[in-house]
Structure 1
Amino acid sequence: MPECIVCLEPKAASDFPTKPLTVTCEHPPSTCLGCIRIAIAVNLDTKPLSRIACPECEEILSPEAIQRYADDVARQKYNDMVIRQALEGFEGFIWCASGCGSGQIHDGGVDQPIVKCNSCGGQTCFQHRSLWHSGVSCEEWDLIRSFPTPSTVDGGPSGGGILDRIRRTREIQASEEIIGKISKRCPGCARSIEKNGGW
């Protein structure tokens, strides 16, 4: 009885493929069908779809070979991964970050970053591919995420918190815009002044 080169168990001839797994394999099949099924399942968890290979020589398996030799669970997983990869190839496609498993095309792109899921109603940020960061813009969210600890966001021990600083920055910018519109620089001291009466 032939022996599988992976599990080293003696097997019946019917426990081996009748032909090489790929058209480029240059060896007779020496891995049993059970070990091939396990190899495909493990590769689906550890490699990109385009790198699923023969367990003996690392020649890439065709989609037909994967369908032929994978078990039902791995076959379904492979089909789901192929569909997911195809959908992600469409421009503007985004998965719902709420975890409902639904996805859709979003025509607004980053100019209109809030994506409302057609299935569950959850909101996803198109730019960050995460749940919508309510109350802050994408730029502000990037700033928040650049700080290493949650305490800098909620005003903890680091003092003030990012959200407070963002609000203060907005207020200062708004004040500066108003001052720029209604005042001019004093020729003597260069401070912003507003004429509200007099000659």
Structure 2
Amino acid sequence: MFTRECTICLETKLNYHRITSKCIHEVVVCLECINRYIDTNIDKFETIIQFDQNAKIKITCPVPMCNKLMERDDIKKIATKEIYERYDFLTFKLAIQKNPRFRWCQASCGSGQIHIGEDPIFMCKGCDKNSCYTHGILWHENQTCEKYDEINKPLEIATERFLSKSTRCPRCNLYIDKIEGCDHMTCKCSHQFCISCLHEYPNHESNCNSFAGCFDDRLNHLLVDLRNRTGRQIF
């Protein structure tokens, strides 16, 4: 057994493990860092599935130029019991919500259930709060679903018109708008992309007009990354 420097935390440690069964590079990320990396990705995908129920969990090897997909067995071998249980529950949530009758509690208690019957009201078995099966919101007290639609339809139409002019994140499908600055966007799900050509950052489609305009931004990003890794001020 011998020590080596982790490429993420830059500390010299003993505890290393092969990240995926398909990785062919040297083992250079310590177990503590790879666990933090997995945990952060779980947080990210928990956000993504709120907007895209068809999303797939894709956690890849963090070593540059590798990007091999971490399978369930890979994560089980590396992750702590607590982190693996979080990952396992996330995959369960993705599977169960594919049932068209399944709904999450809109009181955000973390519970969900398959709704049986035609009554649009369903009471959460976890917190006893009422949600609307039809609209996916907390139950609209003193309003039928028809009355709710009548009142809110004009607002929904205006919202749809506004969103039709917006761009969706290529990864999680969340609407995102550019207010100012470079076309390099960072979504809430952490995905970075060009809002003009939708290519994953730092690359662009060959005909993207924003390629030249983002050069300084890409250079600054590389310099900051180098400074963080070396601990030295570049200039």
TM range (shorter): 0.5 to 0.7
Measured after TM superposition, the shift of residue 145 of structure 1 is 5.1
Query: Does residue 139 of structure 2 align to residue 132 of structure 1?
Result: yes
Query: Does residue 52 of structure 2 align to residue 52 of structure 1?
Result: no
What stretches of structure 2 of length at least 5 have no aligned partner? 49-55, 159-235
Contact 1:50 1:60 survives alignment (8 Å): no
Distance 2:154 2:113 in 1: 27
State the match for 1:40 in structure 2: 38
Question: Which secondary structure state, in structure 1, belongs to the residue aligned with residue 108 of structure 2?
Answer: coil
State the match for 1:192 in structure 2: none
Question: Which secondary structure state, in structure 2, belongs to the residue aligned with residue 37 of structure 1?
Answer: helix
Contact 1:93 1:104 survives alignment (8 Å): yes
Query: Does residue 10 of structure 2 align to residue 8 of structure 1?
Result: yes
* Structure having the higher Rg: 1
Distance 2:126 2:32 in 1: 39
Distance 1:112 1:103 in 2: 17
Give the stretch that moved more between structures: 78-87 or 138-147.
Answer: 138-147
Same amino acid, percent of matched pairs: 32
Contact 1:21 1:54 survives alignment (8 Å): yes
Pairwise mapping of residues 19-38 of structure 1 onto structure 2 (< 5 A)?
20-38=18-36
Measured after TM superposition, the shift of residue 99 of structure 1 is 3.5
Distance 2:23 2:112 in 1: 38
Question: Which secondary structure state, in structure 2, belongs to the residue aligned with residue 21 of structure 1?
Answer: coil
Calculate the TM-score normalised by the size of structure 2: 0.52
Measured after TM superposition, the shift of residue 36 of structure 1 is 0.8
Q: 1:88 aligns with which of 90, 97, 110?
A: 97
Distance 2:78 2:155 in 1: 44
Does the C-alpha gap of structure 1 residues 146 and 90 become closer, same or farther in structure 2, counting only changes over 3 Å?
closer
How many positions carry a matched residue from both structures? 142
Measured after TM superposition, the shift of residue 141 of structure 1 is 5.2
Distance 1:102 1:95 in 2: 6
State the match for 1:71 in structure 2: 80
Q: Which has the higher contact order (CA 8 A, sep 6+)?
A: 2
Question: Which secondary structure state, in structure 2, belongs to the residue aligned with residue 40 of structure 1?
Answer: helix
Distance 1:141 1:83 in 2: 36
Contact 1:93 1:106 survives alignment (8 Å): yes
CA deviation digits over 1:75-109, x for unaligned, max 9? 2321221222222122201122233433221244x
Contact 1:133 1:141 survives alignment (8 Å): no
